[in-house]
Amino acid sequence: MANDLYPAYPPDLTAEQEAYLLTNVKDWSIAHGLAVRPTPAYVPTKQDPSGALATTAPVTLFPSLFPRVCFEQAKGVATAYNELYSAIASDEGWLKGTVEELLEIDDFIAQLWKVHLKVKEEGDVQDLSLGLFRSDYMVHIDPTDSSAKPSVKQVEFNTIASSFGGLSTQVSALHKHLRSIDAYHDSTASTSTDDALPDATSVPKLAEAMALAHRAYGPSSSALPTCVIFLVQDPERNVFDQRHVEYALNTNHGVRTFRLPFQRILDDTALDPDRKLLYTPPHSPSKSYEVTLLYFRAGYSPDEYKSDRDWHARLHLERSAAIKCPSILTQLAGTKKVQQVLATPQSPHLKHFLPNENQAAAVLRTFAPIYPMDKSPAGLEARRLAQNPSAATRFVLKPQREGGGNNIYRSSIPQFLKSTPESHWPAHILMEMIEPPAQKNSIFRNGEVATGGVICELGVYGACLWRSGVVNGERRGREVVENFEAGYLLRTKGMGSEEGGVAAGFGSVDSVCLV
Ligand code: ADP
Ligand code: MG
Ligand code: MG
């Protein structure tokens, strides 16, 4: 699998060498919480009735090779992306114009918008917003230019529940540990300098951003102790990923945190007359806390909103004075529709939101071609390509959804369109597939090693705290309070798989070995 970009790697191991490596991966992973709860398919519920078991998270055995220029490029543009998306999330009028055509045909987006409007009508009581973003990229090499350097192209920008920051820090430490115990033999990973295996700093950085938001909220006005809420799905297999950030927030910053399942919002929280969000833990009903920050690791999928009560619960949170990470406007800024509108050639929007020309140019360089599926001239051309069986193989069709498993790939697109009413086509965007160069690696998942061609997706976290909006009837301009890059994530999947989601069951967590 060696090519112009990547040398032959990793080495072929003898059975004894692989056994040594695997034993260390298994033990180190559990000893350091590089772990997930097992799926029922892997460990049947009757064998673990109390839910006590955990297993190693899917990981690559070796850190994958990654071009240093691409890594630097992606990290270098993180603060510009924070600026861009905080500006978009603060421009309600622009967002409305952009998601408007979705409101008629995408019930989930329409419901979110309705919740936002209800809060707007009443007036907001919190002008701070926290974004813990993750911009995802793949390496692109221009096939028409033999001297072209590799660069990164953006897959998507996440504004809600950007996950794997916890496990990312652990997997980069695992790979460094394996190198230090000579498990990598005479390979690129064993001979590279520390500088080629950069620490993934997402745990301390994400926790720091949350602590900054917590402090910016100010002291409790209700004379109650304060806390940060992690709003979570229940059950959650990827719980240790979240726990790493939670424990760092506790340990490094002394912030009290609680996990609140989405279904329990209305049971365990209440609003006081000033709309302060008060949380009463079910295990300690005589004690309440004022919630400073609501960190969403749930609430991004329509499946979670089973009834009106669930939408009422979301409204209840959105109305509150807690800082939302994210607010509904920030969540909507992360739709694939917004990404498509920004990526439209010659569009004025990027410049409008990012007046700094260098920043705008750096962001622009990361865009891959994305087309609308509406009746605009570009949309009609996209429809033509998407319906054509041979042209469609260059594309992925995406609805406005998060969390993996929602896209339609390549040759499946024409059939999907045939079975979907034309009036619903504009709920999707059509994106050209980025074709990153493959390399070889081994993925250890559910107790089994699979070795072969893999491709990597780099995520760079961004933390942004800003003030904006109308509070107590007064319109405020946007003021960015904190803006920093917050570490990286590498996810790696087998070449045969279209999806890369680790939680969705296709990929693995990885770290970079810069070349
Ligand atoms: P989600 O919000 O569900 O994660 P993504 O846009 O990230 O949706 O798509 C899911 C996965 O599909 C990505 O992790 C990546 O593996 C693959 N994918 C999406 N868009 C592209 C693209 N343009 N080129 C190559 N792969 C893509
Ligand atoms: Mg994704
Ligand atoms: Mg996403």
Residue 500 covered by a domain: yes
Residue 339 covered by a domain: yes
The pick from 136, 163, 396 for probing ligand 1's pocket by mutation, whose C-beta has the most ligand atoms within 8 angstroms, reads 396
- Residue 124's pLDDT band, with cuts at 50, 70 and 90, is very high
Residue 10 covered by a domain: no
Q: Same domain, yes or no, for 329 and 272?
A: yes
Q: Same domain, yes or no, for 298 and 429?
A: no
Long-range contacts of 266-274 (CB under 8 A, 24+ apart): 266/309, 266/312, 266/313, 266/316, 269/229, 269/316, 269/317, 269/320, 271/316, 271/319, 271/320, 272/222, 274/125, 274/221, 274/321
Q: Same domain, yes or no, for 387 and 268?
A: no
Determine the distance separating the centroid of ligand 3 and the alpha carbon of 366, expressed in angstroms.
17
Residue 8 covered by a domain: no
Give 341-388 pLDDT, tens digit per residue.
999 988 999 999 999 999 999 999 999 999 999 999 999 999 999 999
For ligand 1, atom 22: residue with the closest CA:
433
Q: pTM for this structure? A: 0.97
Tell whether residue 469 is among the known ligand binding residues: no
Q: What does the alpha-carbon distance between residue 349 and residue 462 come to, in Å, rounded to a whole number?
A: 21
Q: Same domain, yes or no, for 179 and 105?
A: yes
Determine the distance separating the centroid of ligand 3 and the alpha carbon of 448, expressed in angstroms.
27
Give 434-467 pLDDT, tens digit per residue.
999 999 999 999 999 999 999 999 999 999 999 9
Among 403, 410, 446, 505, the one annotated catalytic: 403
Asked which of 433, 457, 483 is the last residue of a domain, the reply is: 433
163 is catalytic: yes
Ligand nearest, relative to CA of residue 334: 3
Determine the distance separating the centroid of ligand 2 and the alpha carbon of 410, expressed in angstroms.
17
403 CB within 6 A, ligand 1: yes
Give 127-155 pLDDT, tens digit per residue.
999 999 999 999 999 888 888 899 999 99
Atom of ligand 1 nearest to the CA of 398: 6
208 is catalytic: no
Residue 9 covered by a domain: no
Quote the percentage of the chain above a pLDDT of 90.
89
Which residues have CB atoms below 5 A from the ion given as ligand 3? Answer: 156, 158, 402
Q: Same domain, yes or no, for 28 and 112?
A: yes
Tell whether residue 433 is among the known ligand binding residues: yes
Q: Same domain, yes or no, for 137 and 243?
A: yes
- Residue 163's pLDDT band, with cuts at 50, 70 and 90, is very high
Q: Same domain, yes or no, for 117 and 226?
A: yes
Residue 147 covered by a domain: yes
- Reply yes or no on whether the pLDDT at 256 is more than 90: yes
Check residue 340 and give its pLDDT.
Answer: 98
* DSSP secondary structure, 162-202, as one string: ---HHHHHHHHHHHHHHHHTTTTTTSHHHHS-GGGS----H
Q: What does the alpha-carbon distance between residue 362 and residue 61 come to, in Å, rounded to a whole number?
A: 33
Quote the percentage of the chain above a pLDDT of 70.
97
Check residue 6 and give its pLDDT.
Answer: 85
Check residue 4 and give its pLDDT.
Answer: 75
Check residue 470 and give its pLDDT.
Answer: 63
Domain region containing 383: 369-433
Q: Same domain, yes or no, for 196 and 156?
A: yes
Q: Structurally, how many domains does the chain consist of?
A: 2
Say which CATH number the domain at 376 has: 3.30.1490.50
97 is catalytic: no
Q: Same domain, yes or no, for 279 and 425?
A: no
Q: Same domain, yes or no, for 124 and 97?
A: yes
Among 83, 156, 208, 318, the one annotated catalytic: 156
Asked which of 433, 454, 472 is the last residue of a domain, the reply is: 433
Q: Same domain, yes or no, for 114 and 147?
A: yes
Check residue 238 and give its pLDDT.
Answer: 97
Q: Same domain, yes or no, for 261 and 197?
A: yes
